[in-house]
Amino acid sequence: MASIDDIIKREVNPFDLVNLRTGNFWGQNYELESIVESIHQEAITEIEGFLNLVTTDNGSRTVLLVGDSGSGKSYLLGRLKRTFNSKAFFAYIGPWVDNDYMWRHVLRNTVDSLIQVPEGQEDSQLILWLKNLSVFTKTNLKKQLFNDSFWQLLLGDRQKFINHLKKTYLKAGIYNPDIFFGVLHDLTDPELYLLACEWLRGDNLSEESMQALRLKHCIDAEDAAKNILANFGKISTATQPIVLCFDQVETLPSWPSNPQALFNINTTIHSENLKNFLIIISIVTNGWKQSYRYIQQSDKARIERLISLKSIDFTQVEALWAYRLQPLHQEANPKPDSPIFPLKRQLLEENFPGGKTMPRNAFVLGRLEYQEYKLSLINGGKTPDSKPPITPEEREQAEFQLLWQQEYKKVQAKIDKISLLAAPDLIRMVQEALEVLQVQAIKHRLITGAYAGYSLSYQLPSKRENVGIVWTEDGNMRSFFSVMNACQKAIQQNLCQSLYLIRIGSVGNAKLAGYKIYSQIFTGTKHIHIKPNLTSVHYLATYHSLVHSAQAQELFVAGKVIALPVLQSLIRDSKVLEQCTLLQDLGIVTKQKPDPGKTIKDLRQVKDFLLNLVKTQGYMGVPTLISQGVNQFSNVEKTETQHLIDLLCQEKKVKIINPKSKLEDQLICLVTR
């Protein structure tokens, strides 16, 4: 076994592995703060009390979770889900982009969360919710109907299933009971489950899909979305509450001068007696102070409790540090005397004289001091060469590109088809990309009517003419007709001189009215139909996620919080969006020549990743660098990664410090210019 110093030399800084920006707690790893149970325990206990009250009387309640930037609000939401998922269903509600679609956004996010599978379970929250409805778990014989013949009888007869639920919940005031209970029956059919989920989340399904579900209408209005959400609460009052976690609310449209949209939702849930919900609203302290005076007093009264997250003490900081350093200590022989070596408690006393700090600040300090110790192990406290190998600006760009690739990987895993995203979200992503690339005169809503939020316009820099963009992936051809009709009117009114339709889905056939208008607009004219690929959406969604984090003061690069203007500058300098083919097709960025093959393109990304990792680490073990590359890019082999490292050495961008040593002992660093 190696000494702790040898291990520190070769390994990645363990505090670099801490994801200081958070988001949707489904798929995130929140083990750090759950290991130290005392962190924010008072807040957790208080929220558990409100959850128990909802369970007892089914009355919805609201908790406002307030904390400074870096206090761990989003981590706490994840910990609540992890801790109480056995006694409640959890939904993560991220910020919406258009107040005209807020209820549909809440419903979509709720259903997206309900179809997730909790830890230790085989079924999704949605199926667990359905199985636990009192109508299926209570009989005169005290048998669970999921296990007896009566349940099988209901499953076999859709109308009996619907009638049974209508009779049971007659007094509950279910919205469109025949439709809603019919969709619940479809959830029990493996062949219809996905379609039923898509309908519940508000997708505008194709006519064929609607026929399969025996339905005529989608959830295409705010009031309908609100009422479907209410249905979930009304018929589950005898089971478990649904916890709606609103996060990053300071990034909502018009915040902080007009925060009413969010609090209108909360007040509506209370005033219209939407049952069995615990609402948790997470907001940064400054955002709450700025918005407070704009919130109506009646809406403030609907908040049962304001919970402020407190700083953590030195003992808790040391526990977090020890947890992060533990894997390195386990490999060392002999073991370090202190569980936080090479860090010291004295660092906390010197940097935080008040005796407390925020979790993020603790990790930032740990990262900085660990890195200084690591660099001190070579050449008597100096870096491998006589002067710093890169400037602070280059280090910031390297860290940002690593962050981008990490976030891009998460987005890839989360979004496996374009239709998972609502049209207002897609068009907002395009708008954000245009803004960061400094396109002029961007205006939301080119077309009018129900689908106005699907569109925008902007002005070309070289010509004084307006360009319009409409993005719709609605499968329903009636919806497509309405969008095409609105596009035709916009062109006739000369609101844009050229129009792009972005759509990968079908445009119908010659018999359909929507197709006929589509053909008139996009056949033999200067208007263009672009079929986007999933990779382009991944680029847009990655930037969209980082924008929200920057606006919520949760984006951290090179030891500091990054505001939106700095993020935009980093994006432009990195030129990462120039690889987005959709932006190339729109003529916003220069169209790149096609690569000879996908593998070559992937290897270029791997090569950049390896170089950026060395830049941020100062130096590290060659085997560690290889394993990091393989872990980040699942389709890349060790031999390919080793070859890329050799290329970087040949290009004199990096060098092996001890080339005569065995591979497992070799260290790599940057070449000083």
Pair 159, 85 in one domain: no
Q: How far apart are CA 591 and CA 570, in angstroms?
A: 21
Q: Which residues of 201-211 are buried (b: 16+ CB within 10 A; e: fewer)?
A: bbbbbbeebbe
Neighbours of 300 (CB within 10 A): 13
Residue 148 has pLDDT above 50, yes or no: no
pLDDT at 56: 93
HSE, side-chain direction, 13 A CA sphere, residue 387: 5
Residue 149 has pLDDT above 80, yes or no: no
Residues in the chain: 673
Residues 502-530: pLDDT tens digits? 999 999 999 999 999 999 999 999 999 99
Query: For residue 145, what pLDDT band results from cuts at 50, 70 and 90?
Result: very low
Where is the domain boundary, 485, 513, 531?
Answer: 531
What CA–CA distance (Å, rounded) separates 434 from 442? 8
Q: Which residues contact 190 (CB under 8 A, 6 or more apart)?
A: none
Q: Is residue 663 part of a domain?
A: yes
Give the residue from 491, 507, 531 where a domain finishes: 531
pLDDT band at residue 592 using 50, 70 and 90 as cut-offs: confident
pLDDT greater at residue 486 or residue 672? 486
Share of the chain above pLDDT 70, in %: 91
- The DSSP string of 267-320 is HHHHHTT--SEEEEEEEEHHHHHHHHTTS-HHHHTT--EEEEPPPEEHHHHHHH
pTM of the model: 0.92
Query: What angle do helix axes 534-551 and 564-574 make, rounded to 10 degrees?
Result: 150
Instruction: Please compute the mean of the pLDDT values over residues 147-154 and round it to a whole number.
Output: 52
Q: Residue 516: helix, strand or coil by DSSP?
A: helix
Q: Note the pLDDT of residue 136.
A: 61
User: % helix / strand / coil in the chain, to the nearest 5?
Assistant: 55, 10, 35
- Residue 477 tokens, joined: 């051809």
Supply the pLDDT for residue 510. 93
Q: Is the pLDDT of residue 28 over 70?
A: no
Which amino acid, 163?
N
In this structure, the answer to whether residues 139 and 222 fall within a common structural domain is yes
Mean pLDDT value of segment 337-364: 95
User: Total domain count for the chain?
Assistant: 5
Burial class (CB within 10 angstroms; exposed 0-12, middle 13-18, buried 19+) of 647:
middle
Choose among 594, 608, 617: nearest CA to 669.
Answer: 617
Write down the number of H helices and E strands in the chain: 29, 17
Instruction: With residue 501 as reference, give the H or E element that holds it.
Output: strand 498-502
C-alpha of 194 from chain center: 21
Which letter does DSSP use for residue 588 in this model?
A: S
Determine the distance from the C-alpha atom of residue 163 to the mean position of all C-alpha atoms in its chain, rounded to a whole number.
Answer: 39
Q: What pLDDT, on a 0 to 100 scale, did the predictor assign at position 512?
A: 96
pLDDT tens digits, one per residue of 203-257 = 999 999 999 999 999 999 999 999 999 999 888 776 799 999 999 999 998 888 8
Q: Are residues 169 and 216 in the same domain?
A: yes
Residue 594: predicted pLDDT: 63
Dump pLDDT digits (tens) for 153-199. 566 688 888 998 898 888 888 999 999 999 999 998 889 999 999 99
Please report, rounded to a whole number, the percentage of residues in the chain having pLDDT higher than 90: 75
Same domain, 230 and 199: yes
What's CA 26's distance to the chain center, in Å? Answer: 9
Does the pLDDT of residue 151 top 60, yes or no? no
Same domain membership, residue 151 and residue 198? yes
> Distance (Å, rounded) from C-alpha 371 to C-alpha 290?
38
Instruction: Indicate the pLDDT class of residue 146, thresholds 50, 70 and 90.
Output: very low
User: Is residue 589 a part of any domain in this protein?
Assistant: no
- Give the long-range contacts of residues 85-88, CB within 8 A, separation 24 or more: 85/118, 85/119, 86/118, 87/51, 87/55, 87/240, 88/51, 88/55, 88/240, 88/241, 88/242, 88/243, 88/278
Please state, in angstroms and rounded to a whole number, the distance separating the CA atoms of residues 55 and 393. Answer: 52
**DSSP for 527-572?**
-EEE---HHHHHHHHHHHHHHHHHHTT--EETTEEPPHHHHHHHHH
Q: What is the pLDDT of residue 152?
A: 59
Tell whether the torsion through CA atoms of 331, 336, 338 and 341 is positive or negative.
negative
19 part of a folded domain: no
End-of-domain residue from the set 284, 310, 336: 310
165 and 178 both lie in a single domain: yes
What pLDDT, in 10s, does the model give residues 434-478?
999 999 999 999 999 999 999 999 998 777 889 999 999 999 999
Q: What is the pLDDT of residue 491?
A: 97
d(CA 573, CA 396): 11
Same domain, 273 and 185: no
> Which residues make beta-bridge pairs with 530?
502
Average pLDDT over residues 328-333: 94
Q: Does 101 fall in a domain?
A: no
Residue 381 predicted with pLDDT over 60: no
pLDDT tens, 404-427?
Answer: 999 999 999 999 999 999 999 999
Tell whether 560 is covered by a domain. Answer: no
Nearest of 600, 601, 581 to residue 591 by alpha carbon: 581
Q: Are residues 273 and 333 in the same domain?
A: no
Q: What's the pLDDT at 478?
A: 94
Q: Residues 609, 656: one domain?
A: yes
Closest CA to 32 of 366, 337, 404: 366
pLDDT for the residue numbered 231: 93
Query: In this model, does residue 138 exceed pLDDT 90?
Result: no
Same domain, 304 and 316: no
**In terms of DSSP bridges, do strands 356-357 and 242-246 run parallel, antiparallel, or are they unpaired?**
unpaired
pLDDT of residue 143: 45
The span from the CA of 150 to the CA of 137, in Å, is 11
- Boundaries of domain holding 73: 40-96+241-310
Residues 645-660, mean pLDDT to the nearest whole number: 94
CATH of the domain at 247: 3.40.50.300
> What pLDDT does 625 receive?
96
Q: Are 429 and 602 in contact (CB under 8 A)?
A: no
Side chain identity, residue 117: V
| Among 301-310, 317-326, 454-463, the least confident range | 454-463
What phi and psi, each to the nearest 5 degrees, are found at residue 61?
A: -140, 160
Tell me the pLDDT band of 135, cut-offs 50, 70 and 90: low
The answer to the question of residue 163 being in a domain is yes
* Residue 543 domain flag: no
Q: What is the pLDDT of residue 1?
A: 74
Contact present, 473 and 418 (Cβ < 8 Å): yes
Q: Is 440 helix (H, G, I), strand (E, B) or coil?
A: strand
Contact predicate 117/77, CB 8 Å: no
Same-domain status, 157 and 213? yes
- The residue to which tokens 């490292």 are assigned: 645
Extract the tokens encoding 345.
Answer: 């408690």
Alpha helices in 340-445 (DSSP H): 345-351, 359-376, 392-414, 423-436
Question: How many other CB atoms are there within 10 angstroms of residue 242's CB atom?
Answer: 26
- Is pLDDT above 60 for 395? yes
pLDDT of residue 488 exceeding 50: yes
Whole-number average pLDDT of the chain: 90
At 35 the pLDDT is 65
Is the residue at 483 inside a domain?
A: yes
172 plus 204 within the same structural domain: yes
Cα Rg, the chain, nearest whole Å? 27
pLDDT band of residue 634 (cuts 50, 70, 90) is: confident
**Nearest CA to 556 among 410, 359, 327?**
359
**What CATH number does the domain containing 517 carry?**
3.40.1340
Core vs surface per residue 260-292: b (16+ CB within 10 A) or e: bbbbebbbebbeeebbbbbbbbbbbbebbeebe
Return contacts of 208-215, CB within 8 angstroms, 24+ apart.
Answer: 209/475, 210/476, 213/182, 213/183, 213/186, 214/182, 215/179, 215/182, 215/183
